[in-house]
Amino acid sequence: MLSVIVALGLLAGCGSNAAAPSGSPMATATAADIAAAIVELYDQGNAAFAEGFAQGIDFVIANNYPGAFDPAALQSCALAKQPYLNENVNIGLPRVETLELVSNWVGSQSGAADWLLAGESIDGDVYKFDLEVDLEIISSEIVAVNGQVFLLYGWCDDATN
């Protein structure tokens, strides 16, 4: 089930100031601006998966917060799971009405092979929101920095759990 895979793949947070995009956090962006950017990002991600699995994974890698995930490990985990997925893979439908700023965010501890930033903070604002994937609702997060939003989207299972 994709929802199980995505739920396992989505990790609570990330962050290292060293790999952060240049610029300051979206201090002047409104919640509506951030919500619109999230919807656009997820629409683009779903369109990439509609083109093919490889294009979808490339989109996730290119649009993750820089330095949050190891691209080679993420791709390897995704390809290993591909045979078990249905043909309609997508990254979900964000429910932006649930958007909430996460104060003092720190990356979660994880044994996932693709997760690089356990215990780190990041430049930017982290927002959590509900994400609908295969008719299930899971919690998801994005990073907003310098007028852009980035995914926090991994594909490896947490080996510590």
* Sequence-distant (≥ 6) Cβ neighbours of residue 62 within 8 angstroms: none
pLDDT value of residue 159 = 63
| pTM for the model | 0.80
pLDDT value of residue 19 = 44
* Sequence-distant (≥ 6) Cβ neighbours of residue 36 within 8 angstroms: none
pLDDT value of residue 21 = 52
Instruction: Decide the pairing of beta strands 125-133 and 136-145.
Output: antiparallel
pLDDT in tens, 29-62: 888 999 999 999 999 999 999 999 999 999 999 9
pLDDT value of residue 20 = 45
pLDDT value of residue 134 = 83
pLDDT value of residue 87 = 78
* Sequence-distant (≥ 6) Cβ neighbours of residue 41 within 8 angstroms: 63, 142, 149, 151
pLDDT value of residue 78 = 94
pLDDT value of residue 60 = 96
- Positions in the chain short of pLDDT 50: 1-20, 22-26, 160-161
Q: Where are the domains of the chain?
A: 2-17+25-151
